[in-house]
Structure 1
């Protein structure tokens, strides 16, 4: 599990069912889905044994062995010659690069996020929604960050993160309520809000002032504020956050010190998105 994201999302209750309950059409290739299920088993894990892959994916050990062998041969997994543990391989990163250069929100937001990082000297992140979570697709760290160079692709819950709450607060109420209802409200620190009434109160505050806060809810010592990013039609499509670490900060101090910068940056990105023809 990687410390850099504050959590690695504890393996989704048996990987949230094999097919997510969705009906599959005649063109759907089940073996491809199973191969990706094997790759997704490594989310939050630096290595897994063959038995762990089989348990995590719900595949039989024989099937898991065949899929893993194929993925090793193709260069997407590698096997430690001593421990026989399986690990993600470099070719997976190449796929991630293809995504990064094709997603217009990343290139559009990049100069504004960099400017916010330079002005704040704090970590600044860009997040996109995925189910009940957000995924960090761009990360600007700073020299005093306790986590060095946190990797892109970290996935965290919406309900307990500033970036996630910012996104939730900008959704229509029924969509926000539906995501919260589907979210496993597990605590990650002693400070994590898991009570639905308290979460709705925090979201209402975010709606009124335009940005959300999370006080040590994923990582003890980390305080974050996040704001939504909109497209030209006023629909929320992403969010950004500014992260502050250290016991000399309070949530109120973070809000006061960086709230205006956060809102201004999110607005600039939203305006750039609205003027970019690559966004539909």
Structure 2
């Protein structure tokens, strides 16, 4: 790491050291002993052990039980996959997201499944004064968001159970689905219809329509959603919105190699 790169900025020492540890392991052919890390970074073994134990707890590093050497963990791979997957996806999807947003003057999101949550990787804001407050990189639960539910609908039942078990099913509003039986029924309907609603499930006053994006294998890899306040996303508008959101997601899927055999 370039020690002078951020010299003018205030750094959190423990965080900087943890990053240095991971960078050293990577440069050392993804394998390093506690002694090697300690000597290379000029830190005591006890300091390195404390930092690396924390990294292990969050799956950024793991220790080979046979050799005792430390290697980078799957969490970094998972995060890298999200970044890699989103790069081409974002460039393909963005013009279509803009078109959809401009048609209805509402906020449109592009999202991926990252671990047990939804992460928003692109956003086109509404042109209206009252708009959805969200940000790229923001996360939300899956079971109570439109885009989260279309992503869950593309998974196996056991995968859904694992995700929801890890997050729990907090009831954000009276409309939030808060049990697995209802969720499974909802996901089956979404898989059949090809779109999902969030009708004030995560926030009162907010409605959303979402649809899945599929790759060349027909696997759901992302989702898009159009969101707005309930006074604008009316019951009468939902059907039209569903058609257009599904069509936009389908266009993105086709550009990514999806073959529509229906």
* TM score, norm. by length of structure 1: 0.61
CA distance in 2, matches of 1:201, 1:102: 30
Aligned to 1:224: 208
For residues 153 and 254 of structure 1, do their structure 2 counterparts lie closer, same or farther at Cα, with a shift above 3 Å needed?
A: farther
Contact 2:107 2:131 in 1 (8 A): no
Greater radius of gyration (CA): 2
The reply on whether 1:200 has 2:193 as its aligned counterpart is: no
Where does 1:55-94 land on structure 2 (aligned, <5 Å)? Answer: none
Contact 2:147 2:211 in 1 (8 A): yes
Contact 1:127 1:136 in 2 (8 A): yes
Q: Residue deviations 1:111-148, cap 9 Å, x none?
A: 11111112222111000111111100101111226346
Where does 1:170-185 land on structure 2 (aligned, <5 Å)? Answer: 170-185=154-169
Aligned to 2:6: none
Q: How many residues align?
A: 193
Q: Residue deviations 1:7-62, cap 9 Å, x none?
A: xxxxxxxx9x93359854434379xx9xx9xxxxxxxxxxxxxxxxxxxxxxxxxx
Equivalent of 2:91 in 76, 101, 107: 107
Aligned to 2:248: 265
Q: Residue deviations 1:132-188, cap 9 Å, x none?
A: 111001011112263466321110011110000001112233322332233311122
Helix, strand or coil: the match of 1:170? coil
Contact 1:212 1:225 in 2 (8 A): yes
For residues 248 and 235 of structure 1, do their structure 2 counterparts lie closer, same or farther at Cα, with a shift above 3 Å needed?
A: closer
Contact 1:145 1:245 in 2 (8 A): no
Contact 2:195 2:246 in 1 (8 A): yes
Q: Residue deviations 1:223-265, cap 9 Å, x none?
A: 1111111110111111110112133644x43431201101100
For residues 178 and 22 of structure 1, do their structure 2 counterparts lie closer, same or farther at Cα, with a shift above 3 Å needed?
A: farther
Contact 1:113 1:265 in 2 (8 A): yes
Aligned to 1:28: 71
For residues 217 and 20 of structure 1, do their structure 2 counterparts lie closer, same or farther at Cα, with a shift above 3 Å needed?
A: farther
